[in-house]
Amino acid sequence: MGSGPREHAIAWKLCQSKTVEHVYVVPGNAGTAMLGKATNITNVTVSDFARVVLLAKELGIGLVVPGAVQYFVDDIEGYFRGTGIACFACTKEVAQLEVSKPFAKDFMIRHDIPTARYQSFTAAGVEAAKDYILQVPYPVVVKAAGLAGGRGSIIPSSKEEALQAVDDILVHQKFGREAGSSLVVEEYLEGTEVSILTLSDCNGHTWTFPTLQDHKRMYDGDIGPNTGGLGAYGPTPFVTPTLMKEIEKSIVQPALEGLLFEGLKFVGCLYTGLMLTSSGPRVLEFNVRFGEPEMQSMVLLLDDETDFAEVLLACINGTLDQVHIDTVPGFACNVVMTGEGYPDPDLDHGGEVIEMRDTGSDAVFFHGQTRMEDGKLTTGGGKPLTCAVIRDTLREALDAAYEGVASVSFRGMHYRKDIAARLPNFSDYRALIHS
Residue spans of the domains in the chain: they are: 5-92, 117-187, 192-322, 331-409
CB 201 within 8 A of CB 317: yes
Q: What class does CATH assign to 117-187?
A: alpha beta
Query: Angle 9-10-13 (CA atoms, 0-180°, nearest 5)?
Result: 85
> Which of the 8 DSSP states describes residue 212?
B
In the 8-state DSSP scheme, what is residue 62? S
| Confidence at residue 429, expressed as pLDDT on a 0 to 100 scale | 37
Separation CA 93–CA 166 (nearest Å): 27
Q: How far apart are CA 270 and CA 311, in angstroms?
A: 15
CB-based contact 337:384 (threshold 8 Å): yes
pLDDT at residue 423, rounded to an integer? 67
Spans of the chain below 50 pLDDT: 426-435
What per-residue confidence (pLDDT) applies to 435? 32
Describe the chain by its helix, strand, coil percentages, rounded to 5: 30, 25, 45
Which residues are paired to 141 by β-bridges?
186
Rounded to the nearest 10°, the torsion over CA 275, 276, 278, 283 is 50
Map residue 66 onto helix, strand or coil.
coil
The CATH class that applies to domain 5-92 reads alpha beta
User: How far apart are the C-alpha atoms of 426 and 423, rounded to whole Å?
Assistant: 9
Contacts of 339 (CB under 8 A, 6+ apart): 348, 349, 350, 352, 379, 381, 382, 383, 384, 410, 412, 413, 414
Report DSSP state, residue 229.
-
Q: What pLDDT shows up at residue 145?
A: 82
Place domain 192-322 in its CATH homologous superfamily: ATP-grasp fold, B domain (3.30.470.20)
Which of 381, 368, 379 is closest to 336 using CA atoms?
368
Average pLDDT, the chain: 92
With a CB cutoff of 8 Å and minimum separation 6, the contacts of 335 are: 230, 231, 386, 387, 401, 402, 404, 405, 415, 416, 419
DSSP per position, 296-348: HHHHHHB-TT--HHHHHHHHHHT-GGGS---B-SSEEEEEEEB-TTTT-TTT-
Crossing angle of helices 126-135 and 159-166, rounded to 10°? 160
Would you say 5 and 293 are in contact if contact means Cβ atoms under 8 Å apart? yes
Which tens digits make up the pLDDT trace of 121-179?
988 889 999 999 999 999 999 988 877 666 678 888 899 999 998 998 998 888 877 77
Q: Which helix (H) or strand (E) holds 217?
A: strand 217-219
Cross-strand pairs, 199: 207, 269
Q: Which tens digit of pLDDT belongs to each residue from 219-250? A: 999 999 889 899 999 999 999 999 999 999 99
* Total residues belonging to the chain: 435
Nearest residue to 10 via CA among 154, 262, 197: 197
User: Which H or E run contains 280?
Assistant: strand 280-287
Instruction: State the architecture of 331-409 in CATH terms.
Output: Alpha-Beta Complex (3.90)
Distance CA 188, CA 118 (A): 10
- The helix (H) or strand (E) run that includes residue 283 is strand 280-287
User: Pseudo-torsion of CA 229, 233, 237, 242, nearest 10°?
Assistant: 60
CA dist 114 and 274 (Å) reads 10
Give residue 149's pLDDT. Answer: 66
Give the span between the Cα atoms of 403 and 335, in whole angstroms.
10
